[in-house]
Amino acid sequence: MKFYELPPEKRRALLASQGLELADLDSATLAKMDQLSENVVGRLSLPVGLVTNLVVNGQSYLVPMATEEPSVVAAANHGASIFTQNGGTKVTSERQGIYGQIVLQAADDFELADFEQSFPKLIEITNREFSSLVHHGGGVRQITVRCEHELVYLQVLVDPAQAMGANKVNSILEFMAEKLAIFPEIKTKLFAILSNYPSQISRVKVQLSVQSVGGKTVAQQIALLSQIGETDPMRGVTNNKGIMNGVDAVLQATGNDTRSVEAACGLWASRHGQYCSLSSWRLEDDMLHGELSLPLALGTVGGSINARSDVQENYQILGSSITSQQLAEVVVSIGLANNLAALLAIATTGIQAGHMKLQARNIVATLSANDTEKQQVLSLMKQDQNYTQAAAQKYLIEIRKAK
């Protein structure tokens, strides 16, 4: 049998026979994992931390973040706390749908005008075929078309309702493409597939008193750092990485597709012709104004979201009735909170001091020591503000000598 045809227990046994040591995993958990992916041999767990009070459009949220990076959760809480002191974030969203693309090869006598006349009927037939999506508030909304030489490009806007919608949109596009391919002047279908082009944009704004960020001088520094990120791609990409730290952590916790969002945000950062920071900060009349817009094609149902008990637990924390639009508004707010915390650190103490303090726990976790010794080492590292691996080893030796 091929590897993918083996049950997961036999795959693990095969790896063990090759000298690989795998952590114990009970059969029930292994069976659940096998239903979610391919060639399954184990699982990867991430800690879930909370942002304890994020206020978005007047509503307070507990926000789960799945990440092994403690500084990401700490930064999100810091930024969210400052936002809350200033009334929280204001977010608006454009949620018309997500894009699909169909590309056809046309004959020399192709007439675009005749072709376009078939679109209203095609939308009607497609929505009837996928009536379950229409029943939940979604469906095909619009088709636009352009021709380049013998190629016909169709952009299809589909409302996926509360789902991410990738699989459903692909099924819709394949159905539509088969109908279009029989048009007399169409030679062949080249492809029909979802596009991760930026759509479903969420925009967050905050207004912060300069006192809440440490004074006017600090606010001026934040605005200057933002200005640099808008003109210097080297700074811009690092700024955006800090934003995506928070965004990805919430996406992971809620079972959403980090890869599609990352791809769309990368393009969104270049939408003005040059790569730049996704966020913007400016100082006006002793108020620091922050803005961030992100393409967030998210879902709260469907795919693996409903199948994963860990993800469902996180939705209970967020609020089981949360909509995909509300989730996107939470995510973009977390992105801006992480961004503010990073800019604050750079403008004041520097990014590394706080980062290494939080990373001390990860360093201590790698020590060959018992729990009591690890706690003592961590206390000494914090006391001396020395957060290196060498320091941890030194403190451990000293503790054991003292015994």
pLDDT digits (tens, 9 = 90+) for 169-184: 999 999 999 999 998 8
251 and 339 housed in the same domain: yes
- Range of 389's domain? 355-402
Residue 44 lies in a domain: no
Burial of 73 from C-beta contacts in 10 A (0-12 / 13-18 / 19+): buried
Cα–Cα distances in Å, from 341 out to 73, 124, 296, 374? 11, 49, 22, 29
Q: Which of 129, 174, 257, 373 is catalytic?
A: 257
* Cβ-defined contacts of 224-231 (< 8 Å, 24+): 225/281, 225/343, 225/346, 225/347, 226/277, 226/279, 226/280, 226/281, 226/282, 226/343, 229/276, 229/277, 229/279, 230/276, 230/277, 230/280, 231/276
277 and 386 housed in the same domain: no
- Using the predicted structure, report yes or no on whether residue 352 has a pLDDT greater than 60: no
Residue 43 lies in a domain: no
Residue 169 lies in a domain: yes
* Amino acid of residue 139: G
136 and 165 housed in the same domain: yes
190 and 214 housed in the same domain: no
Rounded distance, CA 261 to CA 244, Å?
Answer: 9
CATH code where residue 109 lies: 3.30.70.420
117 and 206 housed in the same domain: no
Burial of 63 from C-beta contacts in 10 A (0-12 / 13-18 / 19+): buried
Task: Confirm if 124 and 162 have CB atoms less than 8 A apart.
Answer: no
Task: Say whether 69 is catalytic.
Answer: yes
Question: How high is the pLDDT of residue 356?
Answer: 62
- Using the predicted structure, report yes or no on whether residue 219 has a pLDDT greater than 90: yes
Rounded distance, CA 161 to CA 144, Å?
Answer: 21
70 and 213 housed in the same domain: yes
Residue 146 lies in a domain: yes
Element (H, E) at 304: none
Task: Say whether 384 is catalytic.
Answer: no
Q: Which of 241, 286, 310, 313 is catalytic?
A: 241
Task: Confirm if 122 and 116 have CB atoms less than 8 A apart.
Answer: no
Out of 194, 223, 250, pick the residue that ends a domain. 194
259 and 368 housed in the same domain: no
Task: Say whether 291 is catalytic.
Answer: no
* pLDDT band at 165; cut points 50, 70, 90: confident
Q: Which of 78, 189, 355, 374 is catalytic?
A: 355
135 and 271 housed in the same domain: no
φ, ψ for residue 2, nearest 5 deg? -75, 160
Question: How high is the pLDDT of residue 100?
Answer: 95
pTM: 0.85
Q: Which two tokens stand for residue 113?
A: 């005008």
Nearest to 59 by CA among 325, 356, 390, 336: 325
Residue 247 lies in a domain: yes
CATH code where residue 223 lies: 3.90.770.10
17 and 65 housed in the same domain: no
Out of 345, 365, 385, pick the residue that ends a domain. 345
Residue 41 lies in a domain: no
Rounded distance, CA 181 to CA 352, Å?
Answer: 58
Task: Confirm if 271 and 202 have CB atoms less than 8 A apart.
Answer: no
Summarised one tens digit per residue, pLDDT across range 389-399 is: 888 888 888 78
Out of 323, 345, 367, pick the residue that ends a domain. 345
283: Cβ–Cβ under 8 A, 6 or more apart, which residues? 210, 216, 219, 220, 222, 223, 289
* pLDDT band at 66; cut points 50, 70, 90: very high
Task: Say whether 374 is catalytic.
Answer: no
Residue 143 lies in a domain: yes
- Number of structural domains found in the chain: 4
Q: How many other β-carbons are positioned within 10 Å of the β-carbon of residue 366?
A: 11
Share of the chain above pLDDT 70, in %: 98
308 and 396 housed in the same domain: no
381 and 293 housed in the same domain: no
Rounded distance, CA 236 to CA 26, Å?
Answer: 45
Summarised one tens digit per residue, pLDDT across range 292-310 is: 999 999 999 887 898 899 9
Residue 224 lies in a domain: yes
Mean pLDDT estimate for the chain: 92
- Using the predicted structure, report yes or no on whether residue 238 has a pLDDT greater than 70: yes
Q: Average pLDDT for residues 194-199, to the nearest whole number?
A: 93
189 and 304 housed in the same domain: no
- Using the predicted structure, report yes or no on whether residue 72 has a pLDDT greater than 60: yes
Radius of gyration (C-alpha) of the chain in whole angstroms: 25
- Using the predicted structure, report yes or no on whether residue 50 has a pLDDT greater than 90: yes
- Using the predicted structure, report yes or no on whether residue 349 has a pLDDT greater than 80: no
